[in-house]
Amino acid sequence: MSDHDLHSKKSGKTGLHPRLPPNQQLVAGDRWPYVGERSCLPVDGPWMIHVTGLVKRPITIPLVQLAQFPQTQITTDIHCVTRWSKFDVTFGGVLLGDLLKSAEPDPAARFVSFVARTERQHSSSMPLDRALKLGTLLATSFEEQPLPSDHGGPVRGVVPGKYFYKSVKWLERIEILEKDRLGFWESDAGYHNGADPWLEQRYIAGSIDRREAARLIETRDFSGMNLLSLDASQRDLRGLNASNALLRNANFSRANVSESRFQGANLSNANFRYADLQGADLSQADLEGADFAAADLRCADLRGSSLFGASFCDLDPENDAIDAAARLDGSTRVDIESLDRLTKPQKEFVLRCLGQ
């Protein structure tokens, strides 16, 4: 049984489309969004690949020597944590397993960390046996062409069956470890270390307890605070000041946040379903993967915000039937160009509401 079958049986939860994990949306056609870092550090000389840590024979080779290992093509589905998915993407390169055969991991080896050649030494890690079983690839090609540099070329990790943040771009080092070492997003942004899209392992729970949350909600001032995964559902928070707050994965469903200030806030994957957002300032906010189904956005300001993977209604992927439509109209302020970040049916829905 595949991982997918296993999970959908276990949780009893499948997306509307059998290949689409819960709460994901398909990006149209050949679109492939960019997420996270946009470039690597420059190299002078050839790109080098290192395999280090708990291995009998560490590897340091120029990338071209990967050609001497067996070449594998895989076709996989990409699922980004910010709720977009892309089906049937073909990558070519060398399987992690084939590379590790010649490095000979130690019996004590339990984890693998993929480290990028970027300013922040971006990394992501996972149990080694899972990485091997899932068919993790060191990808150097995409659709039979060299992997574009803005998508992680010349070489990136591709971990099939996990949220895409496990797939490290501009891969430079593969470190074999005895103990896990949390990656960049997992330690910095609260992304779940498991990253299973079928179980919706997107974020870890928030760090503030319920009493602290209740006290904060009383003050109606979240400005600049880190409130990952805060539960403010159904609260009356009219006039809240949440400018520049970190509110990834926060839950504002059915909350009254009218006239609130979210300017510059990080609201990626926030839940605003059925929320009252009339007159709210969401300008310059990160709204990637935010859910505005059935929210009231009249007189709200979304200018300068980032909208990859955001949604404003529920759509049946089979027939595009609309449910839980957000209320937007001519009074809602949106940059029309920013709507290109939405899936096509979401964009069309918003444009219709705006009367364009």
Ligand X SMILES: Nc1nc2c(c(=O)[nH]1)N[C@H]1C(S)=C(S)[C@@H](COP(=O)(O)O)O[C@H]1N2
User: By the criterion CB under 5 A, which residues form the site for Mo ion?
Assistant: 35, 80-81, 165
End-to-end CA distance of the chain: 48
Read out DSSP for 80-107? -TTSEEEEEEEEEEEEHHHHHHHH-B-T
Task: Check residue 35 for interaction with ligand X (CB under 6 A).
Answer: yes
Which does residue 224 touch among ligand X, Mo ion, none (CB within 5 to 8 A, set by kind)?
none
Rounded least distance, CB 130 to ligand X, Å: 17
Exposed / middle / buried, residue 330 (Cβ in 10 Å: 0-12, 13-18, 19+)? exposed
Q: What is the DSSP letter of 329?
A: -
- Give exposure, 300-313, as e/b (b: 16+ Cβ within 10 Å): bbbeebbbbbbbbb
- Which C-beta is closer to ligand X: that of 118 or that of 136? 118
Span 81-140, contacts to ligand X by CB under 6 A: 116, 118, 122
Which does residue 252 touch among ligand X, Mo ion, none (CB within 5 to 8 A, set by kind)?
none
Task: Check residue 167 for interaction with ligand X (CB under 6 A).
Answer: yes
Number of CB atoms found within 10 A of residue 55's CB: 18
- Which C-beta is closer to ligand X: that of 248 or that of 273? 248
Task: Check residue 165 for interaction with ligand X (CB under 6 A).
Answer: yes
Task: Check residue 34 for interaction with ligand X (CB under 6 A).
Answer: yes
CA distance 333 to 26: 26
- Which C-beta is closer to ligand X: that of 123 or that of 332? 123
Residue 208 pairs in a beta bridge with none
# residues near ligand X by CB under 6 A: 19
- Which C-beta is closer to ligand X: that of 68 or that of 149? 149
Check if the beta carbon of residue 29 is closer than 8 Å to that of residue 110.
no
Given candidates 21, 53, 152, 153, which one binds ligand X under the rule CB under 6 A?
152
Task: Check residue 37 for interaction with ligand X (CB under 6 A).
Answer: yes
Q: Which residues bind ligand X (CB under 6 A)?
A: 32-37, 80, 116, 118, 122, 151-152, 164-165, 167-170, 185
